[in-house]
């Protein structure tokens, strides 16, 4: 296999979010970073939480307004279609609740998922699917990626 093998697998699923490939309208600031789906370290194949960690070098990535962001997991991993035209399998918001966890340094936020998600390929699994991050009320996503194993 190619690539850097120094990073240890932590289990769960991971999507690296960056600037969307396609945009039809004015772009809001990009919220680049990593979005992980996990079961709080139990090693299971069902994700019960999502954690967002913004990129350090991206000055636009701030957790201050994350309450107004929506995560969409699409039915396919097709990045050639407009995100608006790609149906969703799951949607949830990153709004903070009483059970929301924020890191000591304020660099990440973890939210419980309203519906557990299968960390597998095919069926209702999330591996290989497109994930988009939307600002509530926006027409286009501000970041996107593909979910893979972590």
pLDDT, tens only, 54-63: 887 654 545 5
What is the C-alpha radius of gyration for the chain, rounded to an integer number of angstroms? 15
Q: What pLDDT, on the 0 to 100 scale, is given for residue 19?
A: 84
d(CA 120, CA 6): 24
For residue 2, tell me if it sits in a domain: no
Residue 73 is assigned to a structural domain of this protein = yes
Does residue 117 lie within any of the structural domains? yes
- What pLDDT is recorded for position 29? 58
Go through 94-119 and write b for each residue having 16 or more CB atoms within 10 A of its CB, e for each that does not: beeeeeeeeeeeeebbbbebeeebbb
Domains: count for the chain: 1
* Distance in angstroms (rounded) separating the CA atoms of residues 2 and 114: 36
CA distances from 111 to 83, 102, 133 (A): 23, 9, 15
Residue 97 within a domain = yes
Average pLDDT, the chain: 79
At residue 17, the pLDDT reads 92
Whole-number pLDDT of residue 138: 82
Q: Is residue 8 part of a domain?
A: no
At 57-100, the pLDDT tens digits run 654 545 556 677 899 999 999 998 888 889 999 999 887 655 44
Is the pTM value of this prediction over 0.85? Answer: no
CATH of the domain at 71: 2.60.40
**Per-residue pLDDT, 65:** 62
Look up the domain containing 49 and give its range: 13-149
pLDDT at 97: 59
Q: Is residue 61 part of a domain?
A: yes
CB 27 within 8 A of CB 140: yes
- 4 domain-assigned: no
Does 3 map to a domain? no
Average pLDDT over residues 107-128: 90
Cβ neighbour number for residue 148 with a 10 Å cutoff = 15
9 pLDDT higher than 70: no
**What is the share, in percent, of the chain residues with pLDDT greater than 90?**
39
């Amino acid at each position: 296999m190619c690539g850097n093998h120094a990073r240890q697998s932590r289990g769960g699923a991971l999507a690296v979010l960056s600037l969307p490939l396609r945009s039809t309208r004015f772009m809001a600031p990009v919220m680049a970073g990593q979005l992980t789906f996990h079961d709080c370290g139990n090693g299971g194949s069902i994700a019960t939480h999502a954690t967002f960690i913004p990129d350090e070098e991206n000055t636009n990535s701030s957790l201050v307004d994350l309450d107004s962001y929506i995560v969409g997991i699409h039915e396919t991993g097709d990045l050639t279609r407009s995100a608006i035209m790609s149906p969703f399998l799951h949607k949830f918001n990153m709004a903070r609740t009483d059970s929301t966890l924020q890191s000591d340094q304020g660099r990440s936020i973890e939210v419980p998922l309203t519906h557990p998600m299968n960390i597998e390929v095919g069926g209702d699994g999330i591996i290989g699917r497109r994930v988009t991050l939307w600002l509530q009320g926006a027409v286009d996503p501000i970041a996107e990626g593909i979910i893979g194993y972590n």
